[in-house]
Amino acid sequence: MAYRFRNNAIVDKSFYFACKIVLFAEELKANRYYEIANQVLKSGTSIGANVRESQRSVSTRDFKNKLGIALKEAEETEYWLDIIDETKIHPIPKGMYEDCDELIRLLVTIIKKS
């Protein structure tokens, strides 16, 4: 079964970002950068998992908490991208930084307005 588009910007964007992260982590693993691949894979896919979980939250506090975790994971993902970029071990895929930054900005806005 393929992904069902949700018409919810943060849910859809975080899902597609996670898919890009999975493919990027596979490239890193193919070049034997296993540890950093696992780090970026965990944090990058956790964003969408926590966003998705927030959609079934039981209260506003729970909703904000789940999105707060997603925000922390997005910041961590950006950190790992910075490490990869700075060490020049592998090129960062085009648009990945921008996608991560967009997720961070969306999450901050949603948390502040909730």
* 35 in a structural domain: yes
Q: Is residue 43 part of a domain?
A: yes
Q: What is the DSSP letter of 92?
A: P
Q: Which two tokens stand for residue 40?
A: 């970026």
Asked if the structure places residue 42 within a domain, the reply is yes
> Residue 1: inside a domain, yes or no?
no
Residue 83 lies in a domain: yes
Q: Is the pTM of this model over 0.85?
A: yes
Q: Residue 14's closest CA among 43, 56, 57?
A: 43
Look up the domain containing 24 and give its range. 9-113
Which residues have a Cβ under 8 Å from the Cβ of 50 and sit 6 or more positions away? 66, 67, 69, 70, 73
Whether 106 is covered by a domain: the verdict is yes
> Residue 102 half-sphere exposure, CB side, CA atoms within 13 Å?
13
The per-residue pLDDT for range 20-36, each reduced to its tens digit, is 999 999 999 999 999 99
| Any domain includes 2 | no
Tokens matching residue 99:
């996608």
Backbone torsion region of residue 4, taken as left when φ is above 0, otherwise alpha when ψ lies between -120 and 50, otherwise beta: beta
pLDDT in tens, 43-75: 999 999 999 999 999 999 999 999 999 999 999
Note the pLDDT tens digit of each residue in 85-97.
999 999 999 999 9
Percentage of the chain exceeding pLDDT 70: 99
The number of folded domains in the chain is: 1
Residue 81's domain is classified under what CATH number? 1.20.1440.60
In a domain, 4, yes or no: no
